[in-house]
Amino acid sequence: MDTIPGVGEHVLEGLEAAPGPAALHAVLARLMTALEEEASATGEAWALSGPRAEVIPGARNLARYLALRRRDLRPLQRALMPLGLSSLGRLESRVVPSLQAVRATLAVLAGLPQPTRPSIEDFFAGEKALARHTAQILGEATPQRPVGLLVTCPSEAAEAPDFLLALARRGVEAVRINCAHDDAAAWLRMIGHVRNAEAVTGHRMRVLMDLAGPKIRTGVLRLPKEDRRVRLGALLAVVPPGGLDDLPLDFTDFAAECSLAEAVGMVEPGQRVFVDDGKIGAVVERTEPWGLVARVTHVPEDGAKLKEEKGLNFPDTALRCAALSAKDHEDLDVVARHADGIGYSFVQSGEDVRLLQQELAARRPEDWRTLSLVLKVETTRAVRALPEIVMRAAAQQPTAIMIARGDLAVEIGFERMAEMQEEILWLGEAAHIPVIWATQVLESLVKNGKPVRGEMTDAAMAARAECIMLNKGPHLFAAIDALDVLLRRMGEHQRKKTPQLRRLTSW
């Protein structure tokens, strides 16, 4: 039998194979008592403070949801289903009202005094809060399309007002400016084109500006003379910037500078390193005063080219470095004044949130809390701390979660990624916080003009988020049009985790 931690009893202890309403009523009573105790402790650990009292119900619901999902509830679900009751599989936004409703019905079936049954308003309050919080970041939803669109601006958008006009005419809710590219003058021209497009169409588009964060990329390289493709079993040295001259003369394998010097010294033997979105994977064999040496354990069959300016990931290493780089501090002078919201790259802790909010308050003291904050989940550490990160942010300003699937997949593994994007969707709904589904959405269509079957299915799955991000490419407008049609159709079939049983016309 599975147990419910904190209750001190088996979920179905003492119950027959098909437990009756009275026994299940008692189980739910014990479960709800335990949840309240654990949720209270979680809330105290978050130590939330801030002026946005509207997030308190979401924080409480999230704490209860986390307590609930630490348990294996499958036996309880199976016992409730034959009675025609909710199996609790769609309670993310309303943990206590869902449990109250089931328990009240069990009491009626068992002939017991009926406990509190939630009102209709209480039952759907979490859904309404999520919709409000989404509107704070993206504006009002486009009619018949329940999911917002966020589109990345290419560099050419600074000189092409028609690009932003075309987005506005397609009802795009928000545009993203990546501060890792271009400069402040180009960003301001893009924003000017956004405002002009709004004036022409009457359609408001939010401007989200992504801080670059600490770049962890390959720098200058040194390649073997014999074979310049990285192959299985090869050695790869990673050194700080300018560290190639410190390599021993007898080291003739591959070597690359790491743009973030302090990261090199934090890695330990046995930990993994990935290059270029995981194309090259290696395990650190030893560390030296001049850097680290890793053995390649994963690479395409015909090898791979080691290139400059490609991402470096250290998924097993607790990188203790500031989420705000020197460039970010400089960029914030523009971003804080002109953006509607900020994309926070490399955020990994509640303290990272506090530091950014401190910088925003210094630059825009009168109304910095009106700026929305999009938390980009990119690392294993961010996943572990996500509940605290989210609630620390939301206590001060409108907040959303972005599932940055590119970096995150490399960090946690592609096998875990599919599962994790589901869990983040559930966490966001439980906190009444919108989620943005990002990275490689309809990528083949955007780049080549023709979608592949798998990415259309992926886009359909993304319909359970509050917003989907599309990246730049020559066929972007075709992708927007296709995604708009897909989302309108999926909106008739699915609302978050709940199927919508509209009339079928295929048969």
Q: Using 50, 70 and 90 to split pLDDT, how confident is the model at 506?
A: confident
**pLDDT score recorded for residue 13:** 54
Q: Above 90 in pLDDT, residue 383? A: yes
> Would you say residue 70 lies in a domain?
yes
Closest CA to 28 of 63, 70, 68: 68
User: What would the mean pLDDT of 310-333 be, rounded to a whole number?
Assistant: 92
Sole residue written with tokens 């088996």: 10
Residues in Cβ contact with 314 at an 8 Å cutoff, skipping those fewer than 6 apart: 216, 263, 266, 267, 271, 272, 273, 274
pLDDT on residue 1? 39
Tokens 């192959």 belong to 231
Alpha-carbon span 187 to 164, nearest angstrom: 13
Query: What is the per-residue pLDDT for 229?
Result: 93
Check which CATH number belongs to the domain holding 231 and give it: 2.40.33.10
The token duo for 51 is 């002026």
pLDDT at 275: 95
What confidence category does residue 228 fall into, taking pLDDT thresholds of 50, 70 and 90? confident
Per-residue pLDDT for 14 more than 60? no
Same structural domain, 332 and 276: no
Provide the 3-class DSSP secondary structure of residue 488.
Answer: helix
How crowded is residue 82: how many other Cβ atoms within 10 Å of its Cβ? 9
Confidence band, pLDDT 50/70/90 cuts, at residue 144: confident
Same domain, 199 and 334: yes
Would residue 369 count as lying in a domain?
Answer: yes
Place 7 in a pLDDT band, splitting at 50, 70 and 90: very low
User: 358 and 491: one domain?
Assistant: yes
pLDDT of 5 above 70? no
What is the pLDDT averaged over residues 229-249?
95
Residue 282 falls inside a structural domain:
yes
Spatial distance between the Cα atoms of 422 and 280, rounded to a whole number of angstroms: 27
What is residue 293's three-state secondary structure? strand
Same domain, 236 and 116: no
Same domain, 400 and 302: no
In a domain, 485, yes or no: yes
CA distance 332 to 344: 11
88 and 23, same structural domain?
yes
Task: State how far the Cα of 25 lies from the Cα of 76, in Å rounded to an integer.
Answer: 11
Q: Domain containing 426: what range?
A: 129-214+322-497
Name the DSSP class of 142.
P
The average confidence (pLDDT) of the chain is 92
Give a yes or no: residue 504 inside a domain.
no
pLDDT at 149: 96
What is the pLDDT, as a whole number, of residue 10? 52
228 and 187 within one domain? no
Residue 31 lies in a domain: yes
Say if residue 4's pLDDT is above 80.
no
Does some domain include residue 503?
no
- Average pLDDT score over residue span 94-118: 94
Mean pLDDT within 94-101:
97
pLDDT for position 498: 82
C-alpha–C-alpha distance, residues 66 and 43, integer Å:
11
Report, as an integer, the average pLDDT of 452-474. Answer: 92
Cα 344 from Cα 329, distance rounded (Å): 12
The H-assigned helical ranges of 70-215 are 74-80, 95-110, 120-123, 125-138, 161-169, 184-201
| 270 and 149 in a common domain | no
Q: What is the tens place of the pLDDT at every residue in 50-63?
A: 788 899 999 999 99
Residue 321 has pLDDT above 90, yes or no: no
Q: How many residues does this entry show for the chain? A: 507
The pLDDT assigned to 9 comes to 45
Report yes or no: 359 and 396 within 8 Å, Cβ to Cβ: no
Buried b (16+ CB within 10 A) or exposed e, 120-149: eebbebbbebbbebbbbbbbebbeebbbbb
392-436 tens-digit pLDDT: 999 999 999 999 888 899 889 888 998 999 999 999 999 999 999
Mean pLDDT in residue range 182-206: 97
- Of 92, 123, 154, the position where a domain reaches its end is 123
Q: What are phi and psi of 192, to 5 degrees?
A: -60, -40
Kind of pairing between the strands at 399-404 and 372-377: parallel
Q: Does residue 15 belong to any structural domain of this protein?
A: yes
Same-domain pairing of 267 and 351: no
**Confidence at 390, pLDDT banded by 50, 70, 90:** very high
Q: Do 37 and 150 lie in a common domain?
A: no
**Range of lowest pLDDT (151-155, 250-254, 447-451, 494-498):** 494-498
Q: Is 395 left (phi over 0), alpha (psi -120 to 50) or beta?
A: alpha
Q: Which of 123, 155, 180 is the last residue of a domain?
A: 123
Query: Total structural domains in the chain?
Result: 3
DSSP state of 322: -
Q: Please list the residues that pair with 438 across neighbouring strands.
A: 404
Q: Which of 252, 287, 313 is the last residue of a domain?
A: 313
Q: Are 95 and 134 found together in one domain?
A: no
Q: What span, in angstroms and rounded, lies between the C-alpha atoms of 470 and 148?
A: 11
Same domain, yes or no, for 372 and 418? yes
Tokens of 347: 């955020």
Percent of the chain with pLDDT over 90: 78
